[in-house]
Amino acid sequence: MNQSHTSDLLNSLKQEFPKTCFLIPKIAREDQYSLTYSPAVQARNPSLILDHLGIEQLQETMPKIGLKNLAQIKSSLRDEAGSSHPEICHRERLITRHDKGVYIGPDVLGSTTVFFRNEQEKQEAKNALANRYEFIDDFPVSVLTQTQEALTDSSNPENPSDIRLRLLEESGIPTAHRNKIKGEGVLVGVLDTGIDADHQEFCDKSICYSYIPLNPTDSSPRNVRGFDTGGHGTSICGVIAGKTLGIAPEADLYVASVIESETHTTTYLRIRKSLQWLMEHFKSDNNKNKPAVVNLSICLPSSPTPPDIPKQEILELYLKILRYDLYQMIQANVIVIAAVGNNPDNFTYPGGFQEVLAIGAVDYQHQLADCSGSGCVKDEEGQEYSKPDLMGYGVDVYSSVERDYQGQSTYKGQSGTSIASSYVAGIAALYRCQNPTLSVDAVKTQILTNVIGLPHISEAKSGKGLARFVLQ
């Protein structure tokens, strides 16, 4: 579907339909922690909405967006061999209109975005579909604890006063590079404040970049030259794939700007749009057979944070859906890595999910960083597990930041679990480059097995140890 046509449609309807939420198909799950999402299930999801609400197609939009007529869509969606029609969901996103809202989807993550005129309309639709769909409202929330700037501050990438990760032998990075393992053919997605694409670390790379608006219902993602007014995302990308500093300098970067540089806020809808944007690129014809890694600097709270999330049950609902989304990515051969958070007495999500690798921080002497978070997670079945899963270098790590007003590329030392997470994401990219056919579980096993032990730090605080690359 042409994004501009969809954007025009949404802009024309946004005043009439100001309420936004998502429908997540309950039929797509076996249980809370073992999720399935087959093409056949995907193809049937829209027909459930059609059957229950009698939705009629927006006939006037069909010529603009190239949709089939409603009879053809219904016939295909109800086909018992629904698995032969996944393209109906992924390439021709169904846009339907009912007297109780406009439904767009399902998207590549399997959910449908719905727009209502008012709360009453939403409640009536929710009552009609409650047995088969969960309704999730959008909400704003602060998500990023800013990395701490260390004393290191140099504009010369060849002579930093700090240790450069790619020259640190114990990390295994020099070994990888000597064997021409530098991330070639690996897709790395980064959700952060953005990237300064004209910084000298990246100016020779072709970076796929999208700015996801703070209110993504207003327009399609802006696919523009990468920019970053805060520098956090530029630092993360520098550690992962910078030309002179990066662990995997030949990896392909896909960067979505989803966090406001000044306020460090985002919205759930914005996060979902960015994950959808990544998956659409990862599943494209050019990329569908390439291994992928996603690094998340998003740190959602593990307990309610009024007024944005006033109740525990609301938080749990949002986290459940985010976990569902990330599980779809993992099932699509994407390794998901996230910072555990910069509160030493707690952890954050999505790092708190069992399927996601949560990363804490140590310094170059293997001492636990003061800011490195940790905690015990209890799932809804009462099972407990600890986070983080493992550690990365995250104290005074030298990396790129946004250019100054004269256009000069600058560098600084950075500290925090976001930096540590980017280190592990780079290591993961090297493993995926070394053997592109390995599954997500196999690569995670490599990462968790080939660590540097940290016996002086409890496993509850350090996980399996310090990540490194080991040549296989």
The CA-atom distances, in angstroms, between 302 and each of 57, 247, 356, 369 are 41, 31, 15, 20
Q: How many CB atoms lie within 10 A of CB 437?
A: 9
SS3 of 52, please?
A: helix
Contact 271, 142 (CB under 8 A): no
**What are the backbone angles phi and psi of residue 61, rounded to the nearest 5°?**
-90, -15
| Concatenated DSSP letters of 132-158 | TEEEEE--EEE--PPPEEEEEEES-TT
CA atoms of 388 and 459, how far apart (whole Å): 9
Q: Is 192 noted as a catalytic residue in this protein?
A: yes
* C-alpha closest to that of 351 among 312, 323, 321: 323
Q: In 3-state terms, what secondary structure has residue 246?
A: coil
State whether residue 292 is helix, strand or coil: strand
- Output helix, strand, coil percentages for the chain, rounded to the nearest 5: 30, 20, 45
* CA atoms of 172 and 319, how far apart (whole Å): 35
Identify the CA nearest to 142 among candidates 248, 2, 301: 301
Q: 107, 138, 162, 192: which is the annotated catalytic residue?
A: 192
- Cα(162)–Cα(353) distance, integer angstroms: 33
Q: Annotated catalytic residue: which of 232, 399, 421, 462?
A: 232
Catalytic status, residue 422: no
* Tokens (6 digits) for 135: 């309704």
User: Could you tell me which residues come within 8 angstroms of residue 159 by beta carbon, excluding any fewer than 6 positions away?
Assistant: none
Q: Tokens in use for 107?
A: 């998207």
Angstrom distance (rounded) from CA 415 to CA 435: 31
CA distances from 34 to 37, 41, 252 (A): 10, 15, 30
Nearest to 253 by CA among 400, 366, 452, 106: 400
199 is catalytic: no
25 Cβ partners below 8 Å, 6+ apart? 41, 45, 48, 106, 110, 111, 132, 133
Question: Which member of 418, 421, 422, 462 is catalytic?
Answer: 418
Residue 211 exposed, middle or buried by CB count within 10 Å (0-12, 13-18, 19+): middle
Quote the CA–CA distance of 70 and 76 in Å, as a whole number: 10
Q: Which residues are catalytic?
A: 192, 232, 418
